[in-house]
Structure 1
Amino acid sequence: MYFKFISFLKFLIKSTNQHGVHSPFVFNYVTKCLYSKQKWGKAKSINILLKSIAYFNYKHIELDGNQDLNSLLRIHFPNTVIGGNTIDLVYAEELEIDTLKQLFSEGKLHNNSMIFINSIHQTAKKQKLWRKLVELPIVTVSIDMFHCGVLFIRKEQVKEHFTIRI
């Protein structure tokens, strides 16, 4: 309990809003998607996930660790495909480094793919895993939103990490 509270205080100290973002890609994502008033779900992380799917118009999604999302996706995005040869979005409760490397080496992730990890500050173990994922050379953009985190492998962008208040 104390871990999550202390983690949240550290997050608040480091975090910024759209004014601290100097990447056009991330700035547009934050202002046009994350800060939009549209409400898709009750939980913050699910709301962020569903907004992101709509914003990027993702069609091929891989769900790892939360099959309850399948019904939500069918309701809001009936044309999405779960799985496939290429993946637009990977949702994971916990994503191991080897799994991400394997998806990348198999060519399943493309330049606009998003890796969405839920509850990155829930435990010390999940927070440590998040930090290791952010440090991977294939990850160029990482956004910590406390409730969740997203990773991108955009080849045209320099490596940057953002801590954004939602």
Structure 2
Amino acid sequence: MWFKISTYLSFLLKSTNQHGVHSPFVYKIITECFYKKTSKDNVLLFKKIKNSLTTNHTNIEVSDFGKGSKFFKSNSRKISDIANIAGISSKKALLLIRLVQYFNPKYVLEIGTSVGLASCALSIGNFNSKIITLEGCENTAKVAENTFRKFQLKNIQLAVGDFKNTLPNVLNSVSFDFIYFDGNHQKEATLNYFNTCLKTVTNNSVFIFDDIYWNPEMLETWEIIKQHPKVTVTINTYFWGIIFFRNEQIKQHFTIRV
């Protein structure tokens, strides 16, 4: 608890809004995406999807291949609890929708589907984007697939299995320009995913890392990623770390309140 409090206070002291940013590229993201309102239709659609999951009290057995949960003491969990506790928050989901709209990626990869809430946000952001999402647990994947089908989100493809196998497979077939990392909150695994995905990088690629302040290990991981020679611009929003690979940009790190 003290780690979360101290790091958030530190974040607030270092953070700024658009007025403290002297990069036209980042200023435009902040003003035209971060601080822009999500359309009412997209808000309503996401709320309907989230409500369908948060009111589903069916129990499923979950296989946890990542760091594990800070909240769940058993692998038998209600879908509603997974959506409420482990699912993406509405604030983050709406921002994710706007980010996909803003960057307009052709191919999107999500590492860590869970019950599919963030996948749905990615889909809502651009129904023309082709989304592949990876999930290790068969039972949560089934819940996600049912949700995609129910709300006719036809641009999502789900790959089930150990990320060690599924990630290299999808990277061999598609070059992704937008990747959302939310599958494992451990240093070694996150760095492995990052280094594996670097083969897809172009000048316009966007990588988003969820929960960079999850624990000291993840914060250390974020600092390592920031220093990678291919990374030129980073944005720390506290809940996400966003990185870019634009060759025309000097290396700069931004801490932005959203």
TM superposition score normalised by structure 1 = 0.89
> What is the CA distance between 1:100 and its match in structure 2?
2.4
Residue by residue, what CA displacement relative to the aligned partner does 1:18-77 show, whole Å, maximum 9, x if unpaired? 111111100000111001122656533322222110011122111102341333434443
Whichever residue aligns with residue 111 of structure 2, its letter is: D
- Aligned partner of residue 116 in structure 1, secondary structure: strand
Residues in 2 aligned to 1:45 and 1:128: alpha-carbon distance in whole angstroms:
22
Whichever residue aligns with residue 7 of structure 1, its letter is: T
Partner of 1:71: 120
The structure that has the greater radius of gyration is 2
Larger helix share, 1 or 2: 2
Whichever residue aligns with residue 128 of structure 1, its letter is: E
Q: Are the counterparts in 1 of residues 96 and 121 from structure 2 also a CA contact under 8 Å?
A: no
Partner of 2:197: 103
> What is the CA distance between 1:97 and its match in structure 2?
2.7
Residue by residue, what CA displacement relative to the aligned partner does 1:64-112 show, whole Å, maximum 9, x if unpaired? 02341333434443222124522111101256234323322x3x12111
Aligned-residue identity in percent: 35
Task: Choose between structure 1 and 2 for higher RCO, CA contacts under 8 A separated by at least 6 residues.
Answer: 1
**What root-mean-square deviation, in Å, do the aligned CA atoms of Structure 1 and Structure 2 show?**
1.9
Whichever residue aligns with residue 31 of structure 1, its letter is: T
Partner of 1:89: 178
Whichever residue aligns with residue 34 of structure 2, its letter is: L
Residues in 2 aligned to 1:8 and 1:114: alpha-carbon distance in whole angstroms:
24
- Aligned partner of residue 91 in structure 1, secondary structure: strand
Partner of 2:20: 20
Residues in 1 aligned to 2:32 and 2:123: alpha-carbon distance in whole angstroms:
24
Residues 70 and 20 (structure 1), Cα distance of their counterparts in 2 relative to 1, 3 Å cut: same
Partner of 2:230: 138
Partner of 2:102: 55
Number of matched pairs: 164
Whichever residue aligns with residue 228 of structure 2, its letter is: L
Give unmatched runs, 5+ long, in structure 2.
47-88, 133-172
Residues in 1 aligned to 2:195 and 2:239: alpha-carbon distance in whole angstroms:
24
Q: Given the alignment of the two structures, is residue 43 of structure 1 paired with residue 86 of structure 2, yes or no?
A: no
